């Protein structure tokens, strides 16, 4: 007999909304006995969705023309400020003969492009989900990162080439204008950093832009110091060395951002979450016998998700157990999208769910299947 968990339509978890549904996730059964006998392959599945109201209102507002969020306004202002200053730095660097300032202008150009990509990606990511993209468009901001990284690498390569070419020469550098523009560049980058700081925790592209502005501020300091050194009669090759240093700041950041984007696209466990700790916390919920076939991943940087099978003894307690688990996942781990499939030990054994190629490997020692031993892919 196919069973459906007795769940209420909605349940409140603080300021969030919990929507527990059994039928919409689908249930099916496999008859293994004669008529009149209970079917042992019945599938029991309950899905839990809950969304933080603040995140939903800012990242996925309703309507086809959402109003700009504080993050979008910060990006627009930062984009305009850095793009304007790129022209000032590039012109002064060329006229003053300073490769260091020209390198900082190239870095600022990458910042402007990064802010523009972030703005476009987050705007596209706020589009509502549709029938083909049921998770929405949140991953647009992840797809923008490789483009940004490619630009960073191209600029860094050019700076390295020019710096090496100038190390053997003795170019004339007009230190006065360069010092003024370097100081102004520091102020500009500090303003942009302040604008983006509050948004960087939950948005990968805001984090990227903040890292760039921070490194660019350090670059402005380096340009100011090296130019002051040259103005006092120091070695003019210091200007080219600063250019190399700026390139050295760009490359590691590009690699770091690329790794972050790859982790999301590969659906790796989000940073800061430990699956073993999640399983341990789930076992502390009364009525939970085991948690298995566990997957933890990120749909987007601010959108962690979890799916798992929950082995329970008493089907009548399904609502209480799942609500308790959802409370733990949201309150302790901040996971905003949870899908749980409850099952009894007999149902778990009949389904052999943990022997599928895509089953999670977490907590596999807490239970065993009778029958053929799993192959290497199912350890």
Cα–Cα distance for residue pair 1/335, rounded to 1 Å: 33
Quick check: helix, strand or coil at residue 289? Answer: strand
In eight-state DSSP terms, residue 197 is: G
Cα–Cα distance for residue pair 364/291, rounded to 1 Å: 9
Structural contact between residues 324 and 338, judged by C-beta atoms closer than 8 angstroms: no
DSSP secondary structure of 172-194: ---HHHHHHHHHHHHHHHHHHHH
List of domains in the chain: 10-44+270-378 (3.30.70.1350), 64-265 (1.20.1510.10)
Q: Residue 164: in which H helix or E strand, if any?
A: helix 140-167
Cα–Cα distance for residue pair 238/99, rounded to 1 Å: 10
Cα–Cα distance for residue pair 101/140, rounded to 1 Å: 33
Pairing of strands 46-51, 16-21: antiparallel
Residue with tokens 């909304």: 17
- Angle 175-196/204-231 helices, nearest 10 degrees? 160
Residues 6 or more apart in contact with residue 220 via CB below 8 angstroms? 104, 182, 183, 185, 186, 189
pLDDT in tens, the chain (379 residues): 333 333 333 332 333 333 333 333 433 333 334 333 333 333 333 333 333 333 333 444 444 445 667 777 887 888 888 889 999 999 999 999 999 999 999 888 887 887 788 778 878 888 899 999 988 888 888 888 888 899 889 999 999 999 998 887 777 899 999 999 999 999 998 998 888 888 887 776 677 678 778 877 888 999 999 999 999 999 899 999 999 988 887 888 788 889 989 999 999 999 889 999 999 999 999 999 999 889 999 988 778 999 999 999 899 999 999 999 999 999 999 998 999 999 988 887 777 666 665 555 554 455 555 444 444 433 3
Looking at the whole model, is its pTM more than 0.75? no
């Amino acid at each position: 007999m196919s069973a459906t968990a007795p769940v209420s339509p909605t349940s409140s978890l603080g300021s969030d909304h919990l929507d527990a549904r059994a039928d919409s996730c689908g249930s099916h059964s496999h008859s293994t006995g004669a008529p009149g006998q209970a079917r042992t392959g019945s599938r029991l599945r309950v899905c839990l969705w809950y969304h933080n109201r603040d995140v939903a209102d800012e990242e996925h507002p309703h309507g086809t023309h959402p109003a700009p969020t504080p993050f979008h306004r910060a990006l627009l202002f930062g984009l305009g400020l850095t793009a304007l200053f790129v022209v000032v730095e590039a012109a002064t660097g060329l006229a003053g003969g300073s490769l260091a300032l020209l390198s900082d202008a190239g870095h600022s150009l990458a910042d402007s492009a990064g802010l523009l990509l972030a703005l476009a990606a987050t705007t596209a990511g706020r589009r509502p989900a549709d029938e083909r993209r049921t998770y929405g468009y949140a991953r647009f901001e992840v797809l923008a990162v490789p483009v940004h990284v490619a630009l960073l690498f191209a600029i860094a390569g050019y700076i390295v080439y020019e710096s090496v070419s100038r190390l053997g020469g003795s170019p004339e550098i007009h230190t006065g204008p360069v010092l003024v523009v370097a100081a102004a560049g520091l102020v500009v980058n500090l303003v942009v950093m302040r604008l983006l700081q509050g948004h960087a925790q939950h948005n990968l592209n805001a984090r990227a832009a903040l890292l760039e502005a921070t490194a660019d501020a350090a670059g402005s300091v380096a340009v100011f110091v090296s130019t002051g050194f040259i103005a006092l009669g120091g070695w003019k090759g210091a200007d080219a060395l600063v250019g190399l240093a700026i390139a050295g700041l760009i490359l590691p950041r590009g690699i770091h951002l690329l790794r972050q984007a790859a982790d999301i696209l590969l659906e790796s466990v989000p940073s800061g979450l430990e699956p073993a700790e999640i399983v341990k916390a789930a076992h502390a919920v009364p009525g939970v016998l085991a948690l298995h076939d566990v997957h933890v991943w990120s749909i987007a940087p601010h959108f962690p998700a979890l799916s798992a099978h929950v082995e329970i003894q008493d089907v009548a307690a399904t609502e209480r157990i799942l609500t308790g688990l959802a409370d733990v996942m949201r309150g302790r781990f901040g996971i905003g999208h949870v899908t749980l499939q409850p099952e009894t030990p007999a149902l778990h054994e009949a389904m052999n769910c943990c022997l599928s190629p895509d089953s999670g490997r977490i907590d596999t020692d807490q239970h065993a299947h009778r029958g053929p031993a799993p192959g290497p892919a199912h350890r």
